[in-house]
Structure 1
Amino acid sequence: MKFIDTIKNIWKIEELKNRILVTLGLLLVYRFGAQVVLPGVDASQLASLASQADQGILGLLNAFTGGAFSNASIFALGIMPYISASIVVQLMGIAIPYLQKLQKEGESGRKKINQITRWLTIAITLVQGPGYIYNLFSILPPEAFVISNQTVFVVSSVIIISTGCIFAMWLGEKITDKGIGNGISLLIMVGIIATLPQSFVQNFVSRVSGDGGGMIMVLIELVIWFVIILASVLLVMAVRQIPVQYARRTAGGGYEKNVFGSRQYIPLKLNASGVMPIIFAQAIMFVPSAVAGLSDSDMSQSIKAAFSDIFGLWYNVVFALLIIVFTFFYTAITVPTNKMADDLKRSGGFIPGIRPGSETSEYLDRIMSQITLPGSVFLALIAVFPAIAVKLLNVQQGWALFFGGTSLLIMVGVAIDTMQQVNSYLLNRHYDGLMKSGKNRKAVA
């Protein structure tokens, strides 16, 4: 079978094999840490915390951390503070000249930006950590705390949670450097996948028992689930090809007039921003309920209730609008149409019917806007589909999180990115073999 042959080829490439083993090992360490309960907390008394994390916006956070939130784990905050810090740094990069300068300095600038992100991550964990600990005090019974001195417990737990987040961040960076795929995204994906079997079993039991609809409804849900996965894959993979022609060079280094070489294409993705708009929007959706919770007024409490229900109408309307806005925003900062136009002009290329230079840049920018709009709307529809599944199909909330939404799109996006990296190793090795010995040669470690 072709799949088995591909696995064999992967195992033959020493560098790729080692990277995959490193990735799996570090992911295993992360999953093990998610099960380690904070010192001073009785693990048998966490039922009320698990109940709190089964629904609402905390349920989504619990899914992202792979159940570490409901386990009162040393990784209770997961990698989310790092994600929040990354979002803040990227947003500040638009307004702060110093960060803009760093973005243009290449690798050295990227390292400085990463260092700023790390320090900001520590600051965020030192704010979120006490909030998580005091939530434990409000939810768990007094006998759940083994350490009687509250101050000692709070200080030690905040230090441990902050250290756990920093260690998770380090794991993600090591996976990116030494493993395969984007480490931070893989940590989130593994956390999400960890909750999938339990969510499916709970939904299955609710369907086959009582008046849930039986096996027919389970099969219908699975068909819908696979259709949404296919739609998500198409959204991530779809591109529009822009034809480009290149003038032939003369012996003197110039270009021959009206003589062109082979036609090539610029692939512009329908969804150039990937899952980042959803992650951006999801991070902001945590803010209204948190801010409204600081006040006891009726309006504040109603706002908190509306934005704590991730399957509610107003939550999903605002969520969808934010995704559309962030899709345009992130596409604008990640697809440099001006640079693309300049590169084409310098290399003697042009888009047929469009003058090189500023007109090419404007044309590319217009095309990006045209394809980004339907892409952003499609992305928003998939993101809010879990709410539709809950309201119309009566799907269990935990299982509904995988009917589109942030969870499914992150899984699909990360899986495709990782498979593309593995595939690039295979193609490069095969290309080397064709040029040298006519077959795959052994990789040099």
Structure 2
Amino acid sequence: MASAAEQLAANINFGTFAKATELKKRIWFTLGALIIFRLGTYIPVPGIDPRVLNEVFQQQGSGILGMFDMFAGGALSRMTIFALNIMPYISASIIVQLLTAVSPQLETLKKEGESGRKKLNQYTRYGTVLLATVQAWGLAIGMEAMSGASGPAVVEPGMFFRIATVITLVGGTMFLMWLGEQITARGIGNGISLIIFAGIVAELPRALVSTLELGRTGALSALFIIFLLVMAAAVVFFIVFMERAQRRLLVQYPKRQVGNRVFGGEASHLPLKINTAGVIPPIFASSLLLLPLTAVGFAGNGGPEWLRTASAYLAHGTLLYMVLYAAMIVFFSFFYTAIVFNPAETADNLRKNGGFLPGVRPGKNTADFIDYTLTRLTVIGSAYMVAVCLLPEILISQHSVPFYFGGTSLLIVVTVTMDTVAQIHSHLLAHQYEGLIKRAKLRGKK
């Protein structure tokens, strides 16, 4: 039996990797872009006192602000130019996709191909600017209301500070949106996911140190910390198992004779993943919950009675928050699966290529069978994501463990890592095929 190191070397094929200059350029570009992102998370917004913000986040870091800070990679607690991170863009994408499902005009744009996709992306950018402006204005007002033992958080509050903060934060979000698109086009893909991934991974060491510090001070027992680390490892293993699991539908191609030769007759598989939507549902659910709760978290103490009541019921770890979070994950699992996978189109492609599912008639019956199978798989996939995201969240809310050990962060880290490795493998395979084609052409010339 081959060792794990030999299997890893066989999968990655380091010899081919060393020769794949295009892939190396893409990796270096991606690393450079992520370094720029991390540098931006340390450039503060002008006019604030970082010491007061640190005091506020020490008091409220276990609430919704702490979760927002996790997605921002620590940029919110430091109140930097990337404090909003990429969340306004994700929220705008959700809104545009929801409108596409209900608006005939937008659905027509989606079917127009590349030109329609560009128009929808432009609408998403407009929505990003609008949402980022609203969130930045709320952050500016919230920071003006913050104060700690050393004084107010804002040195000189007023309209000038609010306008400067809005311009800075909206510009930071738009730059991250552009950076994510560049990583997708010129890097190794998944630009938006990689930005969120980089923020979570960069803060993991600090979260581990803070957890160990809680154990040293006696806030957490050593046995609980060991249980937490073991649980995190078990969640990672479970995520990898479920993300690689798939249901394979047998596809048969009939034999056909052309002259004296017989073609076809082979069988293949149509793989259906258990979690077709990937990491999108928990990100969408978190971003939608963060959108209203950001304002509630800042203005809940000094706002009207209904806002204080909403803040109490929607606080992180409450029953209503957990129920809404689970419901949104289930909804976006089915919604996004319906967007990325079209059973009718798949059945039509099989029919055009002469393929069929044994025991199922081509056409509508095949589409209905694929849709039925995919629906059952999505039920399992959504239940798996709810379990992975909610069970650690309960421990976090009860014991004030850092969010970086939660199910949502682990799900994002593991799935983005697997997708990135798959992208690298596809680039390596493309390089190998290009090399074979070039060698074949050279031999043909001889």
Aligned twin of 1:201:
209
Q: 1:108 aligns with which of 111, 115, 136?
A: 115
Match of 1:220, SS state, is: helix
174-183 or 277-286: bigger deviation: 277-286
Cα distance in structure 1, aligned partners of 2:227 and 2:135: 40
- Give, in angstroms, the shift of residue 418 of structure 1: 0.7
> Post-superposition shift, 1:428?
2.6
Match of 1:344 in 2: 350
Residue in structure 2 matched with residue 354 of structure 1 by the alignment: 360
The alpha-carbon deviation at position 365 of structure 1 amounts to 0.7
Q: Closer, same or farther in 2 for the Cα pair 1:388/1:53, shift >3 Å?
A: closer
Q: Do residues 132 (structure 1) and 142 (structure 2) align?
A: no
Pair 305,30 (structure 1): closer, same or farther in 2 beyond 3 Å:
same
Q: Deviations over 1:151-203 (max 9, x none)?
A: 21111121111111111111111111111121111111111112211111111
Question: Is 78-87 or 52-61 further displaced after alignment?
Answer: 52-61
1:268-417 equivalence runs, <5 A: 268-286=272-290, 289=293, 296-297=304-305, 301-309=308-316, 311-390=317-396, 395-398=399-402, 400-404=403-407, 406-417=408-419
CA distance in 2, matches of 1:131, 1:288: 10
Normalised by the length of structure 1, the TM-score is 0.89
Residue number in structure 1 paired with 2:443:
none
Q: Which amino acid aligns with 1:167?
A: F
SS at 1:41 equivalent: coil
| Alpha-carbon separation, structure 2, partners of 1:75 and 1:145 | 18
C-alpha contact 2:144 2:153 (8 A) present in aligned 1:
no
Counterparts of 2:232 and 2:423, CA distance in 1: 26
Instruction: State yes or no: 1:428 paired with 2:430.
Output: yes
8 A Cα contact 1:337 1:365, kept in partner: yes
Deviations 1:18-62 (A, max 9, x none): 101111111111111110011222334432343255121111110
Report how far residue 270 of structure 1 moved: 0.5
Contact 1:245 1:349 in 2 (8 A): yes
Match of 1:442 in 2: none
Matched residue type, 2:192 = I
Counterpart Cα distance in 1 of 2:368 and 2:153: 62
Q: CA deviation at 1:8?
A: 5.5
Task: Report if aligned partners of 2:235, 2:388 keep a CA contact under 8 Å in 1.
Answer: yes
- Partner of 2:406: helix, strand, or coil? coil
Q: Residue 173 in 1 paired to residue 181 in 2?
A: yes
Checking the alignment, whether the CA contact within 8 Å between 2:143 and 2:154 is kept in structure 1 is no
CA RMSD of aligned residues (A): 2.5
Corresponding residue pairs, total:
426
Select 1:247's aligned residue among 240, 245, 254. 254
Task: Quickly say closer, same or farther: Cα 1:288–1:162, change in 2 above 3 A.
Answer: closer
Equivalent of 1:41, from 39, 48, 51?
A: 48
Paired residue type of 2:200:
I
**Code of the aligned partner of 1:383:** C
Corresponding position: 1:120 with 2:127: yes
TM-score, normalised to structure 2, is: 0.88
Structure 2 counterpart SS, 1:303: helix
Any gaps of 5 or more consecutive residues in structure 1?
439-445
Query: Residues 319 and 17 from structure 1, CA distance in 2 versus in 1: closer, same or farther, beyond 3 angstroms?
Result: same
Match of residue 192, structure 1, among 192, 200, 203: 200
Deviation, 1:368, is 0.7
Q: What is the CA-CA distance between 1:287 and the residue it aligns to?
A: 5.3
Change (3 A) 1:358 1:374: same
Q: Is 2:75 the counterpart of 1:75?
A: no
Quick one: structure 1 residues 190 and 287, their matched pair in 2 at CA, closer, same or farther if it must change by over 3 Å? closer
User: What's the offset of the Cα at 1:144?
Assistant: 4.4
